[in-house]
């Protein structure tokens, strides 16, 4: 498990059929892996998922590194992570895009294999497949207000930082008794946090409510409050079940059920 603070300014989706503005049809054909490696060296960003682009041929044009990457990876599902100054920090290639996908403006579509924890999302009110939550912005970080469902069915409201770098839902250990979770049902494990290695107690939360939608049996890790240094992280054991869109202009997080 890896727990890290979110640092992105923009998550950009590149999908099959994407036409980058200003890219000409006659853009130079290049080996994607070689071009990506050269750009990473030139601009100082890291690349994850290079194996997906081996032997692939793509287009390369333009001086702006962001637009050049968008064009280069147009046939792949990918995430471009930028820092506060707009510099590219990381490129994540998830695999080849399915034909015909229309790319949302600001979206991360997380693979189901990344998500921990049991059953699919349950709808707590009707047949809604989408939930929209207002975001709380602090610098480049986004938080949302959720309800944690304890062992007795009671709900506890909590503001959580949206963090795709966290494998699971991460909560402060002080909430364990308030959520009615038996200590003997939690397992000790060592985790990597933004501040180094730490001991955590892991288990399952009965449920978490995102607005009126319930997600059941959620993998959770409890960290000592001083190690966590905040109210908690909304990680991949929840986010991995959805397509996630952050709209900074309107201050919303939209989660679309798979």
Over the chain, what is the mean pLDDT?
76
Same domain, 151 and 247: yes
pLDDT band at 66 (very low <50, low <70, confident <90, very high): confident
C-alpha of 211 from chain center? 19
Task: Indicate whether 27 belongs to any domain.
Answer: yes
CATH classification at residue 34? 3.55.50
Task: Indicate whether 139 belongs to any domain.
Answer: yes
Q: 111-120 pLDDT, tens per residue?
A: 443 444 444 4
| DSSP codes of every residue in 155-212 | EEEEEEEE-TT-SSEEEEGGGTTTTT--GGG-EEEEEEETTEEEEEEEEEEEEEEETT
Task: Indicate whether 191 belongs to any domain.
Answer: yes
Q: So what's the pLDDT on residue 75?
A: 84
Q: Over range 12-19, report the average pLDDT.
A: 36
Same domain, 137 and 183: yes
Same domain, 67 and 127: no
pLDDT band at 16 (very low <50, low <70, confident <90, very high): very low
Same domain, 89 and 124: no
**Structural contact between residues 133 and 182, judged by C-beta atoms closer than 8 angstroms:** no
Please choose, from the candidates 86, 119, 102, 121, the residue with its C-alpha nearest in 3D space to the C-alpha of residue 245: 102
C-alpha count within 13 angstroms, C-beta hemisphere, residue 78: 28
**Structural contact between residues 93 and 75, judged by C-beta atoms closer than 8 angstroms:** no
What domain range is 204 assigned to?
113-257
- How many domains are contained in the chain? 2
Same domain, 246 and 134: yes
Q: Over range 235-255, report the average pLDDT.
A: 86
The span from the CA of 83 to the CA of 81, in Å, is: 7
Portion of the chain with pLDDT greater than 90, in percent: 34
């Amino acid at each position: 498990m890896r727990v890290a603070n979110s640092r992105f300014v923009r998550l950009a989706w590149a999908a099959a059929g994407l036409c980058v503005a200003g890219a000409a049809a006659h853009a130079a054909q290049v080996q994607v892996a070689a071009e990506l490696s050269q750009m990473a060296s030139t601009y100082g960003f890291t690349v994850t998922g290079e194996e997906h682009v081996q032997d692939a041929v793509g287009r390369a044009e333009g001086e702006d590194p962001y637009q050049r990457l968008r064009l280069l990876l147009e046939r792949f599902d990918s995430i471009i992570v930028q820092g506060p100054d707009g510099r590219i920090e990381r490129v994540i290639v998830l695999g080849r895009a399915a034909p015909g996908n229309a790319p949302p403006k600001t979206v991360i579509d997380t693979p189901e294999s990344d998500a921990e924890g049991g059953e699919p999302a349950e709808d707590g009110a009707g047949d809604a497949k989408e939930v929209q939550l207002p975001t709380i912005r602090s610098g480049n970080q986004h938080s949302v207000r959720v309800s944690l469902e304890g062992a007795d069915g009671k709900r506890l409201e909590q503001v959580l930082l949206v963090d795709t770098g966290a494998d699971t839902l991460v909560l402060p250990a002080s909430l364990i008794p308030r959520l009615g979770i038996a200590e003997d049902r939690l397992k000790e494990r060592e985790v990597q946090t933004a501040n180094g290695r730490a001991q955590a107690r892991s288990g399952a939360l009965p449920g978490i409510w995102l607005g009126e939608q319930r997600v059941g049996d959620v993998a959770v890790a409890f960290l000592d409050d001083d190690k966590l240094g905040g109210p908690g992280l909304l990680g991949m054991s929840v986010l991995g079940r959805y397509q996630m869109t952050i709209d900074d202009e309107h201050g919303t997080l939209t989660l679309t059920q798979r």
